[in-house]
Structure 1
Amino acid sequence: MTHRFLKTEIHCHIEGAAPPALSHRQALKYGVDTSSFIADGGYVWRDFAEFIACYDKVASLFRTPDDYALLTESYLSELAGIGTIYSEIIVSPDHGDRIGVGADGYLAGITDGIHAAREKTGIETRIIVTGERHFGPDSVIGAARYAARCGNSLVTGFNMAGEERMGRVADYAPAFDIARDAGLGLTIHAGEVCGAFSVADALDLVRPSRIGHGVRAIEDPALVQRLVETGVVLEVCPGSNIALDVFPDFESHPLRQLIEAGVRVCINSDDPPFFSTSLAREYEIASEIIGLSDAQINAMTRTALEAAFVDETTRSALLSRLDRRQAAGDDA
């Protein structure tokens, strides 16, 4: 059982963490018909493009800072309840502008939720600002500029998510230069919908310390070796990969191959209710379906903490907590 593991998650989109029940309550609050994207207690989509559209419809149900405080506190409390000690949540300031509260109001609500969850549960959390690739380079550059100037101490990283097939990585590289110059950690979605070439492009043009997904790197042995040599961490999300038909089943998922090759990896839930998963479920998949040992799973948790966009004092405290658990071999 996965309750024996302390857990860490560094790849989860905050709107993508909204459970259908909460989204339904938000829809009732705002008088929104959800029949086109919520049915039988779950989200409705058929392919990656429809998933993005469904995600945006769910996001549109969260419209005020208080809405975002509720969503954030709820998700982080859920994580803490399964033994999660650290979380990084991916947020999009563009959404704050689209709902009319502005990026600052949007971020303020998320920050309030983080503080509330930490006070109640002790979970440590940081924020990764993301640009949405399908809104174009100017939008992504704008998100990087916002992340660089927002002055929120919880914002420690920058990312690019969205439709991976849109545009070239080179078109978006200036956004990462802005974020790098501001001292933010860099990660980028690549090697999920698109193949190994997108991981190589990210390494060449963005030079991130982490890559969101990156699992299609397995198609290129030379690229796998490059990941080993550079130590770039892959934020792997098995449940998401299977739901989006990146791989046909968990048995063919390359997580074990990547680990055995020496690639630094960790496990995450991505957009859990959209993919009928959770962080607890991802740990179960790693243990019970993919068949990783407890030592391998704990090593992934350690990798996530080592790669986290967090100050060294906090990192040391989190690693010490993990060490104590492993030494004790007991529950959180």
Structure 2
Amino acid sequence: MRDLRALPKAHLHLHLTGSMRPDTLAEWAARDGLRLPEPLPPDRVHGWADFQGRYDLARAVIRSAGDVVRVVREAATADAADGAGWLELQVDPTSYAARLGSLEDVVAAVLAGAAEAPIPVGVVVAASWGATAEHAERLARLAAATPGVIGFGLSNDERLGRVGDFVAACRLAADAGLRIVPHAGFYEPAAHVRDCVELLGAHRVGHAVTAASCPETLGLLAGRQVAVELCPTSYPPLGVAWDLSALLDAGVPVALGTDDPLLFGVGLAGQYQIARDLGCDDATLARLARDSITHSAAPAEVRGGLLAGVDAWWAGAGPDE
């Protein structure tokens, strides 16, 4: 059976705090006398507040630019071990700015970590769905003005905001050549995904799991080749239904991601293993890897090398060899 860690891939859906290694979290919590977040109990479905509270506790241990650099470096090292040759790391600098100095200082620290990473890293600056339109536009201008930033996203619980409030911010970012990568369709219905594509000009959509039951939305995503960033371990703990086969059967590009491995406990290769366990054969797994690469913001030479690696992986020894 082909080794999933040897399958070249790009990682397009990972958040800064959620990428932290558990031992790093424990080390810093002890350093600062902070309480460690408890794991999400596996025996029940959780609400968003359960997840967000644990995320906030973990985020509190990040106290300096040096901490950020280490988180980025360690996250990229883990992804490299799982076969990633390109990482896009998302950060909303708002929550870190008070400790690091400014929004600009936070993004600079993430970029400094990217410079030390073993694989190339592109940075996505995100606003919260709960942010004001004005704050989102400020972050979009920061993203547009910062070399090394490749995308602008909207993260957090999509129920906190209205799509129309973020049109101007996304237009600012898109005019600067950035990828528009909002989270959508996690809790909100498929119409939310369509609005993000049609109003915000989304190039990719994070999660978009509610699109799977809507032929109109699947057709839109497939027709425009808007990729869905699907994170298999994010959905069962929060009681969210997801359907990989519906997306693939409709011709929607899918890039598997980890979202927040600190809290959900599974790395990038593990997400591909889940897809294999659900019945995806190696040809489909290679398709998922190609989708992640072709829908990334990686430079052409990086994409070309990774795609050649996928072809070599597929041409290699199969299950019976």
TM-score by length of 1: 0.88
SS at match of 1:135: coil
Alignment of 1:46-195 (within 5 A): 46-118=46-118, 123-150=119-146, 152=147, 154-195=148-189
Do the aligned partners of 1:159 and 1:186 also contact (CA within 8 Å) in 2?
Answer: yes
Q: Per-residue displacement from partner, 1:179-210 (whole Å, max 9, x unpaired)? A: 01111111110011211111011112111111
Query: In the comparison of the two structures, how many residue pairs are matched?
Result: 315
Aligned to 1:10: 12
Tell me by how many angstroms 1:41 deviates.
11
8 Å CA contact 2:154, 2:182 repeated in 1? yes
Q: C-alpha distance in 1, partners of 2:114/2:311?
A: 25
Report the Cα offset of residue 241 of structure 1: 1.6
Amino acid at match of 2:281: S
**Bigger relative contact order, structure 1 or 2, given CA contacts below 8 A and separation 6+?**
2
Deviation at 1:38, TM superposition (A): 2.9
Residues in 1 aligned to 2:204 and 2:295: alpha-carbon distance in whole angstroms:
7
RMSD over aligned CA atoms reads 2.2
Q: CA deviation at 1:39?
A: 5.7
Is 1:24 the counterpart of 2:13 in the alignment? Answer: no
Q: More displaced, 139-148 or 315-324?
A: 315-324
CA distance in 1 between partners of 2:116 and 2:232 (Å): 30
1:178-327 alignment, distance < 5 Å: 178-247=172-241, 253-288=242-277, 290-327=278-315
**Which contiguous aligned blocks of 4+ residues in structure 1 show a shift greater than 6 angstroms?**
none
**Which deviations, in whole Å up to 9, do the C-alpha atoms of 1:101-149 show, x marking residues without a partner?**
323332233223222222xxxx222111111112332222221111012
Q: Offset at 1:329?
A: 4.7
Q: CA shift at 1:226, angstroms?
A: 1.7
What amino acid is the match of 1:133?
Answer: W
* CA distance, structure 1, for counterparts of residue 243 and residue 218 of structure 2: 11
Q: Secondary structure in 2 aligned to 1:61?
A: coil
Cα deviations by residue, 1:235-265 (Å, 9 ceiling, x for unpaired): 1111112222112xxxxx3101210121111
Instruction: Give TM-score scaled by structure 2 length.
Output: 0.91
- Alpha-carbon shift at residue 40 of structure 1 (Å): 9.8
Relative distance call for 1:41 and 1:205 in structure 2 (3 A) is: closer
- Gap regions ≥5 residues in structure 2: none
Where 1:129 maps in the other structure, the secondary structure is: strand
Taking the aligned partners of 1:298 and 1:195, their CA distance within structure 2 comes to 30
Q: Work out the CA distance in 2 between the residues paired with 1:184 and 1:87.
A: 16
Give the aligned residue type for 1:9: H
CA contact (8 A) 1:213 1:235 kept: yes
Shift in Å, 1:301: 0.9
Shift in Å at residue 313 of structure 1? Answer: 3.1
Q: What is the one-letter code of the residue matched to 2:144?
A: A
Instruction: Say which SS state the counterpart of residue 105 (structure 1) adopts.
Output: helix
In structure 2, the CA distance between the partners of 1:66 and 1:41, relative to structure 1 (3 Å rule), is farther
- The CA deviation string for residues 219-239 of structure 1, in whole angstroms up to 9 with x for no partner, is 211211121111111111111
Separation (CA, whole Å) in 2 of partners of 1:201 and 1:146 = 24
Separation of aligned partners in 2, 1:4 and 1:321: 9
Q: Does the CA contact (< 8 Å) of 1:20 and 1:38 recur in 2?
A: no
Instruction: Tell me by how many angstroms 1:80 deviates.
Output: 1.0
Q: Which letter maps to 1:58?
A: A
Q: Mean alpha-carbon deviation: is it higher for 136-145 or for 85-94?
A: 136-145
Matching residue's letter, 1:126: G
* Structure 2 CA distance for partners of 1:239 and 1:224, relative to 1, 3 Å: same
Instruction: Give the CA deviation at 1:271.
Output: 0.7
Q: 2-side partners of 1:106 and 1:173: how far apart?
A: 24
Instruction: Name the SS of the counterpart of 2:12 in structure 1.
Output: strand
Q: Partner of 2:259: helix, strand, or coil?
A: coil
